[in-house]
Structure formats: C-alpha cells, structure tokens
Amino acid sequence: MIKKLLSIACVFALAGTAQAATNWNMSTEQPDSNFLTQNAREFAADIKAATNGELNINVQSNSVLLKRPEVKRGVQQGVVQAGEMLVAAIGNEDPLFEVDSVPLLASSFDQSEKLWKATRPFLAERLDKQGIILVYGSPWPPQGIYTKNPVEQLSDLEGVRFRAYSPATSRLVSLMGAVPTTVQTPEVPQAFSTGIIDAMLTSPATGVDSQAWDYVKYYYDAQVFIPQSFVIINKRAFQRLPENVQKAVLEAGERAEQRGWAMSREQTSKLTQTMADKGMVVGQLSEKLAGEMRAIGQTMTEEWLKKAGADGQKLLDTYRQP
C-alpha cells in the first residue's frame, strides 16, 4: 500500500508543477458521516477558499488511503501530505502520545481540553523533529463500555474478548480482567458478527457509525477518558507552499480545532440518544464498577508517569495548575 501510494504522490507532485494549484491528499480514518471527517472536509474547504484555490486538499475518508497504523509514517514519508489519526495509536513511540487515554485523568470535556493544551506543545516538538507539523487536534466523545450482557462489576467481564485499539486501551482491558483484542474502527461490525470480540470500549460516535445496536444491548456512559485525534502534515510539503498559503493552513487549523471541540461536545448527547432510540439500554456504571475503574485509573496514571519521565511530570504539573 505504501509503495503504491508513493507512486500516486509523485503523480500529484508532477501535476502540481504543471498548474498553478497545488494538490494534496489527506487520509482520514472515519466515514463521511463522522463529525471528525466532516471537520476535516471543512478544514480543506476553508483552505481552498482562503487561498483562492492555490491549495486543494483531497480528503479521503474511511481509511481508504491508509490504515491507522500507517498514517504517521505515510505523512512523514510524503505518501500523503496530510493525515488524521488517533493520537494514542502511536503511544508505543512515546508515552506522551497516550496521556489522553489514561483512565479518569481527564474525563470531562473541560478537563480534557485543559489536558490537550498542556500536551500539545510536547507533541508538536516531537513531531517537528520527525518532519511532521501538528496542525490541529479534535476530541472524540467520552469513551463508554458496550456489552451484550449487564455488567455490575469487573468480574462480569472476566475472560470476555474485549476490543482494544491502542497500547493504552490494551493495558486497560487487561487490568479489567478481559482479553484485549485489537480491532480497528471499520472492522468493528465484522469482529462482532464473527465472534472475534464480545464487548468494546469506545465513543458514542463509533457506536453509531458501526450500528452497535445490531450486536450489543448495553451501553455504559462511563466517560473513562476522552481520546484525541489530530491532523498532521508533511513538513517539507508545507515549506514548499507560498507564505500566504502556509498562513492560511495554520489559521484554518486553529479554526478546525475550535470547531472540533464544539462539535464533539454537541454530538455526544445526540449520538448517545440515537443509541437509546435504537433500543440499546443506556446507563451509568454501578457504584462498585465505578470504584474499580477509579482504582485502575490510579494504577495506569502511576505506570504512565514512570514511562513518561521528566516531561511527563512537567505535563501533569501544567495540567494540574489551577
């Protein structure tokens, strides 16, 4: 896939030299109905309007161009000039990329936005050294628990094949006593229908996109954490743009970040209600299960700090300032 897209990228690059407009490809993970993809399309349209068509970003949704594990490397190598991806998916590279997935460290939108503002400079610096520019971030809705049967305590999940989608969620599922099974978003319906997974931790957005009511009955609005996605671009491709176009990209990114937070806040309640309207039982965690999840959150915070070192402590100190 990478080699094939490198050839495509070369074709677009040659085409760009033959005409005034510059054409970029952007890979996004979610379907067109997802608000993150809609925000990415608005970002691209904003740039095209602001530059009078000097930069045209072709947004390809639903991981058509690149799968989640390929996005960062694809942008870095110039396979695509831009990409949208889950930040925590590259947590194995550096623990600072997965701080948003530490359970219950920041479970409200206000807390999560404060954590993102503390985290963003650290991530931008790391990416810049790798030839990548962080343009904007957008949050997913809070993560909840989807199951086929009622769950009152963690022992009810013992041995259950439970979807994980990042290193942090794999660790979380293990601590919950379930069996972590890596399944990417577009593969969720098939994974349930073939028995690969029986439960999952994900947002109401993925729940609606994958029509979770077809294979699970219960949704617990646990608000375990609020994962972040970001849009990144190839630094060399950016530097080849005229100064006015560079400015338009960064300004469109600022607007997209603000819009992304507003969209996620607005969509969370609507998407949760959609699942209820489709017949799912929507509820809160039992007091016992909530306590067990808080204990896991404390464990994972301590583990994360050990991995993250001095920068991790600086990040948390900034986040925890009044």
- Annotated domain spans of the chain: 2-140+228-271, 144-225+280-319
pLDDT on residue 2:
57
Specify the DSSP element, H or E, that contains 285: none
pTM of full prediction above 0.85: yes
CATH T-level fold of 144-225+280-319: D-Maltodextrin-Binding Protein; domain 2 (3.40.190)
pLDDT of residue 5: 56
Hey, do 2-140+228-271 and 144-225+280-319 end up sharing a CATH topology, with the first three levels equal?
Answer: yes
Task: Enumerate the β-bridge partners of residue 179.
Answer: 161
Could you tell me which residues are beta bridge partners of residue 161?
179
43-51 contacts: CB < 8 A, separation 24 or more? 43/136, 43/231, 43/252, 43/253, 43/255, 43/256, 46/252, 46/255, 46/256, 47/245, 47/248, 47/249, 47/252, 50/248, 50/251, 50/252, 51/244, 51/245, 51/248
pLDDT in tens, the chain (322 residues): 555 555 555 555 544 444 479 999 999 999 999 999 999 999 999 999 999 999 999 999 999 999 999 999 999 999 999 999 999 999 999 999 999 999 999 999 999 999 999 999 999 999 999 999 999 999 999 999 999 999 999 999 999 999 999 999 999 999 999 999 999 888 999 999 999 999 999 999 999 999 999 999 999 999 999 999 999 999 999 999 999 999 999 999 999 999 999 999 999 999 999 999 999 999 999 999 999 999 999 999 999 999 999 999 999 999 999 9
pLDDT on residue 1: 59
Cα gap 191→184, rounded to integer Å: 9
Predicted local distance difference test score (pLDDT) of residue 3: 56
User: What are the distances in angstroms from CA 195 to CA 21, 188, 216, 280?
Assistant: 48, 11, 12, 20
Q: Which of 197, 90, 42 is nearest to 206 (CA)?
A: 197
Structure tokens at 282: 């929507």
Domain 2-140+228-271 bears CATH identifier 3.30.1330.10 = no
